[in-house]
Structure 1
């Protein structure tokens, strides 16, 4: 299951995505978390120190390796240099599974063991977050990487999130395993087709006019693509706040989060055991889990593949062909459909 957390800056998107990831890990659900926000804070929200988070390998800097692996021996892709962020898989491409090891995860991912204390060295396999000796499960963490001095003035952040989009295009995931992506804030997610890559999108909104403005943008942009969108109210202080959100977003409002001493302690750098999270918060996380799991029943691999091809052809015509000097439309394999069987062809 592929889950995205979106929302305006400061809405609490990263905090809630980290809580959801912790909930899944505590339930022993296989979970991979991806920090795809220009402000890279997910690692710290999961309990890593600033130094440990900064040492995580950036997917954006390993894009050549990612492309070379995913390309495989697909005869339609002439070289890894001609792969762009939207390049779809075809016969001969290598696909990713969340429950398997592969060179992409080996190079870019690190395991975070929650609630055990550091036991693997900063930035290495076994990186740990949290204090105390309680075993709160583990997760795989990937990060796009922050802007660097070399990027300033010459690159946009989507050059880094392109690595995530490529991986999503080549990912075959099933029920009971989760990829959770903390997306870039605001409507920037629509600068690529990545917003259509998810089974469920949770939009975090505060009970203010500004707080719901991103929801209106997202709903408008996503309407024609069948994107499953539910609103998660955050910083809700009482019935009036909840009523405001309900009035603004209607039935799209799934659940709300209020004040949490547990979250405040985490933000102060004094994390508590996850089991100490208030019951209201734990109940809300169970609601998110149920909604995400329920989206599996509506999964449509055919539409997923068609949308992937749609955005690839659009990007190829807009800039990809000129940049690579190749006809990127020729990369589309008309007989290929991504599915839970590794290769599924259509007549």
Structure 2
């Protein structure tokens, strides 16, 4: 299951995604956590100190990732001809959560939690060298390729902490998830991000649920219900556990307040429901749509080839496919 957490900066998106990752890990399920936010704080939220949270960025290993995923796909002449939206086809290498492969070897780190362990990968921060010459969604290209080639099943989880606001729409990555949790504070700014996301995803079948954060009373709850209606899934209130975690002294996870534990269970139930309506054909079709769009916009010119030829018309990604070349 592929799960995204989105929201405006400061909404608590990273904190809530880290809580959900801890919740999933405590069930014993395999989890890959991906920090795709311009502010790289997911590792710290999972208990790493600042030094330990410094990890090799996926973007730094983009050539390796492309070369491995290309496999023996005859439609892709070389790794250099792949772009962030290149879809898999016959001969491509696919990825599983529960395996060892060169992508995980280069980019993932095992993070031990008190309820289990997860693999953590990061896009890498925006650096001084990027200023004036790059945009942040260029950093997330490795994540998009990873998601495009991932064969994940029931009770296997990829949780992506996405970059804030409309930056999520700079590529087709917003369609790569079974469910998207939008973290919204009970404020006009929080609701504006929800409305923007709702509008942008309207034609793509995105399952969007709102998680109200920093909800302090009935008035906050009524405001969210009035503004987002049935999209409001659950709300999160004050947490002494989270405050201790932010100070670097998290208690055992099973000491998280009961109302917030129930809220995480509600998220888990929503994820399970999303699996029941998973549509691999639509998922593959949307990959092709955004690949052709990017090819026409800039990819063909940059690579010097017609990237439409990379599309394998008979290929549909799905759980029945072997994760191999």
> What TM-score results when the alignment is normalised by the length of structure 2?
0.98
Q: Is the 8 A contact 1:71 1:93 kept in 2?
A: yes
* Structure 2 counterpart of 1:24: 24
Matching of residues 193-204 of structure 1 within 5 Å: 193-204=172-183
Give SS of 1:272's match: coil
Q: Give the aligned partner of residue 50 of structure 1.
A: 50
Q: Match of 1:50, SS?
A: coil
- Give CA deviations for 1:26-56 in whole Å, capped at 9, x if unaligned: 11111110000000000000000000001x1
Q: Does residue 79 of structure 2 align to residue 80 of structure 1?
A: yes
**Alpha-carbon distance in structure 1 between the residues aligned to 2:265 and 2:40:** 26
Does 2:55 match 1:61? no
Contact 1:337/1:343 (8 A) holds in 2: no
Partner of 2:262: 283
**Among residues 122, 138, 157, which one is paired with 2:136 in the alignment?**
157
Counterpart for residue 120 of structure 1: none
Cross-structure match for 1:209 = 188
For 1:337 and 1:30, how far apart are their aligned partners in 2? Answer: 24
Please list every run of at least 4 consecutive aligned residues from structure 1 whose deviation after the TM superposition is greater than 3 angstroms.
none
Match of 2:125 among 131, 135, 146: 146
Q: Secondary structure at the match of 2:52?
A: helix
Q: Is structure 2 residue 41 aligned with structure 1 residue 41?
A: yes
SS in 1 for 2:160: strand
Partner SS, residue 203 of structure 1 = strand
Deviations 1:144-179 (A, max 9, x none): 011122212111111110000001100100000000
- Structure 1 position 343, deviation (Å): 6.2
Q: Output aligned runs, 1:256-275, within 5 Å.
A: 256-275=235-254
Matches of 1:99 and 1:252, distance apart in 2? 32
Provide the rounded CA distance (Å) in 2 between the counterparts of 1:236 and 1:187: 23
| Aligned residues: CA RMSD | 1.0
Secondary structure in 1 aligned to 2:34? strand
Q: Which residue of 2 aligns with 1:122?
A: none
User: How does 1:173-322 map onto structure 2 within 5 Å?
Assistant: 173-322=152-301
Q: Deviations over 1:94-141 (max 9, x none)?
A: 0000111111011100100113xxxxxxxxxxxxxxxxxxxx211110
Moved more, 144-153 or 219-228: 144-153
8 Å CA contact 1:336, 1:343 repeated in 2: no
User: Aligned with 2:300: secondary structure?
Assistant: helix
Map of 1:94 onto structure 2: 93
Give unmatched runs, 5+ long, in structure 2.
none
Q: What is the TM-score when the length of structure 1 is the normalising length? A: 0.92
Q: Secondary structure at the match of 1:337?
A: coil
1:109–1:140 contact (8 Å) kept in structure 2 = yes
The answer to whether the aligner puts 1:4 opposite 2:31 as a matched pair is: no
Q: CA deviation at 1:261?
A: 0.4
Unaligned runs of 5+ residues in structure 1 are 116-135
Does the aligned pair in 2 maintain the 1:91–1:343 contact within 8 Å?
no
| SS in structure 2 at match of 1:53 | coil
Distance 2:38 2:3 in 1: 18
CA shift, 1:253, in A, is 0.2
In 2, the alpha carbon distance for the partners of 1:257 and 1:288 equals 11
Post-superposition offset of 1:205 = 0.2
User: C-alpha separation between the residues in 1 aligned to 2:27 and 2:228?
Assistant: 30
- Residue 124 of structure 1 corresponds to none
User: How far apart, in 2, do the equivalents of 1:98 and 1:75 lie?
Assistant: 25
